[in-house]
Amino acid sequence: MQDHTDKELLSLFRNPDQKNYAFNLIVRKYQERLYWHIRKIVIGHEDADDLLQNTFLKAWKGLEKFMGESGIYTWLYRIATNESLSFLNEKKRKFFLPLVDVEKKLSASLESDDYFSGDEIQLKLQKAILKLPEKQRLVFNMRYFDEIKYEDMARVLDTSVGALKASYHHATKKIEKMMKDD
Amino acid sequence: MENNNNIGSGPDKKLKSNPFSAPESYFESFPQRLQQRLQSDETARLAEEKRFLPGLKPRLALVAAATALFIIGYLGFQNLMHQEDPWLTSEEIAGYIDMHHHEFTDYYFLGTLDDDLYEDEYYTDDALYEYDPDIYIEYLYHEDIDIELIIAEY
């Protein structure tokens, strides 16, 4: 499959005859990275699958108006992040769960997840990540696993680079401590 | 193990690797499943529109007709209002005097003649714009109108 640039994909999408084809290319190009991003937030595969579909549905409706001021990936990442956080908040509201119980639930689903292929130390790391506050968890995942630049992260999360660096630093220190203590 | 736990000191390939997995062929089949969902959403949206529009159409037509009638009526009324003679007729002067005869003075009478005076070629002087009773007297004199007779009649 030829790798199109975002600009080419957008221009194809704006051509009514090529709209479906272009969207299909966008989905194929970004689905994996978005899936893993969502998956690390919500943990379960079924939830991640639903949220990935919702992300692309929103993208389909909004891509026409997307001006391309940021890359498509940054824009999609932003939608996926918002969808995932809304999902977790909805879960908290629906079941009247305090934050610590959400973390416990996610931790439990991590252990029973058929699609978790990590070893013991990786499970330990994931459990430690789940104990972080929501924002720090996001920042840590995006920086540590996805190696996203702080500048891109700032656009996705609407936060300054300085705040993100501080957030990542705190998250790293906390995780190191949790891993040593356990 | 201690080294593995130190996530801040340089990239640890094992720790950094993705511990999650997805069902087999998940990414191969995802675009197709998404297309199906897009189509079913679109079908549902169209069905909703179809269900909603037939009932809505007559109502919209009614609202449009009422709006059109209102606009036509309003414009017609506005047109009629603007077609009215801006100048006072003698009947209007008489009507005005009838209405206010209890407080009528020659001063008021002269006031009602105001518009007629402006029409008269003889009185084109700028002084007309200043409310000067002498000018009205002069006008009545010029037109050979007996002001006392008129006042006596009203």
Shortest distance, CA B14 to any CA of chain A (angstroms)? 8
- Locate tokens 């975002």: which residue? A6
Helices A45-62 & A72-94 angle (0-180, nearest 10):
130
Mean pLDDT of chain A: 89
Give residue B2's pLDDT.
38
- Locate tokens 């689905």: which residue? A31
Q: Among the listed ranges A25-34, A85-94, B65-74, which one has the minimum average pLDDT value?
A: A85-94
Give residue A105's pLDDT.
79
Mean pLDDT of chain B: 73
User: Exposed, middle or buried: residue A46 (CB in 10 Å: 0-12, 13-18, 19+)?
Assistant: exposed
Is the Cβ pair B21, A126 closer than 8 Å?
no
* Interface contact A73, partner B, CB < 8 A: no
Give residue B3's pLDDT.
40
Is the Cβ pair B31, A28 closer than 8 Å?
yes
Shortest distance, CA B85 to any CA of chain A (angstroms)? 56
Give residue A162's pLDDT.
94
Q: Among the listed ranges A121-135, B31-45, B56-70, B121-135, which one has the minimum average pLDDT value?
A: B121-135
pLDDT digits (tens, 9 = 90+) for B105-147: 666 666 656 555 555 555 555 544 555 667 666 777 777 777 6
Q: What angle do CA B20, B23, B27 make, to 5 degrees?
A: 95
The first and second tokens of residue A169, run together, are: 């630093």
Among chain B residues, CA nearest to A39: B20
Domain ranges of chain B: 23-83, 90-153
Is the Cβ pair B19, A32 closer than 8 Å?
no
* Interface contact A52, partner B, CB < 8 A: yes
Give residue B132's pLDDT.
64
What type of residue is A68?
Answer: G
In chain A, what are the domains? 1-117 (1.10.1740.10), 118-182 (1.10.10.10)
Is the Cβ pair B37, A118 closer than 8 Å?
no
Give residue B133's pLDDT.
65
Give residue A64's pLDDT.
84
Which residues of chain A does B33 touch, with a Cβ-Cβ cutoff of 8 Å?
53
| pLDDT tier for residue A172 given thresholds of 50, 70 and 90 | very high
